[in-house]
Every structure is written in structure tokens, then in C-alpha cells.
Amino acid sequence: DLLGKANALCLVSRALATPQTFEARVEVSRLYPAGPSANMDQPPQPSMQRSPLQYVWPCTMKDGTEVVLRPICPEDEPLMVKFHETLSDRSVYFRYFHSVSLRTRVAHERLARICFVDHDRELVLVADYEDPKTGHHRILGVGRLNKVPERNEGEAAVLVSDQCQSRGLGTELLRQLILVALDQKLTRVTVEMLRENLAMQTIVKRLGFRLRLLDDPTAIRAFRDL
């Protein structure tokens, strides 16, 4: 049936991991309804917007591991659950500035909002790794760029699986978010982090950000004018 063909296309395109099939996968997931109550006889609904096809990059980590940096899509929710299972309490604290339980982070309502992202407001990039032996995919890192229209700026954040930290993946995710901001004519990118997060401070300095103290004694803001 049509739904089965759509799901098959999703699996094939994820395996191929090319920009063209990525676009097809996202378009199918948005155009056709899913679930037991879906009426496949109805014409497909217009997609909210096309996938940002231009934001797909190959990336090689310091240890030689190859990943694809690409926009998140609805089919990534199970992979996002697995990704959050790889994060230590310290990594979660550095990202969200407070502890957040795994149950809260992988709740369907929360992940659905992230995976069905509105590209007019924000962009979420994932580092998609395909195991060469099994063909299974894993998300090793996530970068997020939230647009602030009133200031024509973007607020960026990066989170990397503990097993992949210190391999250059966080730097590459943030580097590509800067390119996205440039492409979308934003004038500045900012990153807020805890003062004790020295690794993130090293990344932003490497990419040309300047640091600014905040009223909050525990946090610091990095900014880069574009």
C-alpha cells in the first residue's frame, strides 16, 4: 500500500544517506498521514515547507569516524531516544544548565516538537552515523539554531554523545550552524554556556566568538558577528 511504500522509501533513503534521498524522505513523511486511522485515499496535504536540502554535509571526526550532518526529520525520534541514553548527567547539566531526567528528555511530546521542527524558526542538525557492519544508524550529536527575528540573530547550542566528545564533532556542528546563519542573513550568533564548561568555551574561541560575562554568575555568553 501507499503507506508501506512511503515507509520503505524512508528506510532506503536513510541507508543511502544522500541529500537527494534525504529530501524525499522528509517530503514523504510530511505529505502523507500515518497511523492506523490514516485515510490513504485522501490526497496528500501540502507540506509546511521543503526540507533545507542545502544543509547536508559529510563530516570526518578526529578518529576517522564518518558522519553526515543533516537537518533532523520526523523519523529520527527513535534515534533521538537512543542518543539521550548515551548522555551523562554532566553533559545534560552543561547543556540545559540544570538536571533533566531521561524520562523527561525522551518524552514523545518533547521529541515530536524537536523532530517536526519549523525551519522558519529554527534548524536542528544531527550527526548521523551509519555502522558499516550492521547498517544501523545512530545520532552522535545535535546542534540547534534558534532564530531571534527581532534582533536578526541566532542562538546556537550543541550537544554531543559522551563517547564522541573531544573528537571535533561539537566544533563541526557549531561551524555548520554558523554557515546556516550566514546563509539566512542573520547578523550574529550567540551561545550561552556555564562558566565551568571549559570545553565549550574552547570551541567558541576556536570559531572566532568573543566572550561576555552575564549578570548570572554561573553563565557566560559567546557571540560572533557575521
| pLDDT on residue 119 | 83
Q: Spell 42-51 as b/e; 16+ CB within 10 A means b.
A: eeeeeeeeeb
* pLDDT number for residue 120: 84
In 3D space, the residue among 169, 146, 168 whose CA is nearest the CA of residue 157 turns out to be 146
**Residues 10-36, mean pLDDT to the nearest whole number:** 41
Can you tell me the distance from the alpha carbon of 157 to that of 193, in angstroms, rounded to the nearest whole number?
9
Q: Looking at the predicted structure, is the pLDDT value of residue 11 above 80?
A: no
Same-domain pairing of 74 and 38: no
Residues 104, 36, 125, CA angle at the centre, nearest 5°? 45
31 and 97 inside one domain: no
Counting the structural domains of the chain, the total is: 2
Clarify whether residues 73 and 143 are in a common domain.
yes
Binning pLDDT at 50, 70 and 90, where does residue 51 land? low
Q: What is the mean pLDDT of residues 170-176?
A: 98
Q: Do residues 13 and 28 make contact, with C-beta atoms less than 8 angstroms apart?
A: no
Q: Are 178 and 221 contained in the same domain?
A: yes
174 plus 121 within the same structural domain:
yes
Identity (one letter) of the amino acid at 132? P
What contacts 186, CB < 8 A, 6 or more positions away? Answer: 147, 152, 153, 154, 226
Q: What is the CATH number of the domain that holds 56?
A: 3.40.630.30
Domain span including residue 169: 52-225
* Same-domain check for residues 113 and 191: yes
Which range among 23-27, 97-101, 220-224 shows the weakest confidence by mean pLDDT?
23-27
DSSP codes, the chain: -HHHHHHHHHHHHHHH--HHHHHHHHHHHHHS--STT--TTSPPPPPSS---TT--EEEE-TTS-EEEEEE--GGGHHHHHHHHHT--HHHHHHHHSS---HHHHT-HHHHHHHHS--TTTEEEEEEEEE-TTT--EEEEEEEEEEEETTTTEEEEEEEE-GGGTTSSHHHHHHHHHHHHHHHTT-SEEEEEEETT-HHHHHHHHHTT-EEEE-SSTTEEEEEEE-
Q: What is the pLDDT of residue 31?
A: 36
For residue 32, pLDDT over 50 is answered with: no
Give the pLDDT mean for 201-210: 98
Instruction: Please tell me whether residues 57 and 45 are part of one structural domain.
Output: no
d(CA 72, CA 114): 8
Give pTM, 2 decimals.
0.79
Residue-wise pLDDT for 78-123, tens only, equals: 999 999 999 999 999 999 999 999 999 999 999 999 999 888 899 9
- Per the DSSP assignment, residues forming a β-bridge with 221 are 192, 212
Going by C-alpha positions, the residue among 140, 143, 144, 159 that lies closest to residue 63 is 140
Same domain, 109 and 183: yes
Q: Name residue, grid cell 573528537.
A: 167
Same domain, 59 and 93: yes
* pLDDT at 16 exceeding the cut of 80: no
Mean pLDDT of the residues in the chain? 84
Domain boundary among 16, 33, 51: 51
Same domain as 84, residue 45:
no
**The pLDDT of residue 183:** 95
**Do 3 and 85 belong together in one domain?**
no
Q: Indicate if 5 and 33 belong to the same structural domain.
A: yes
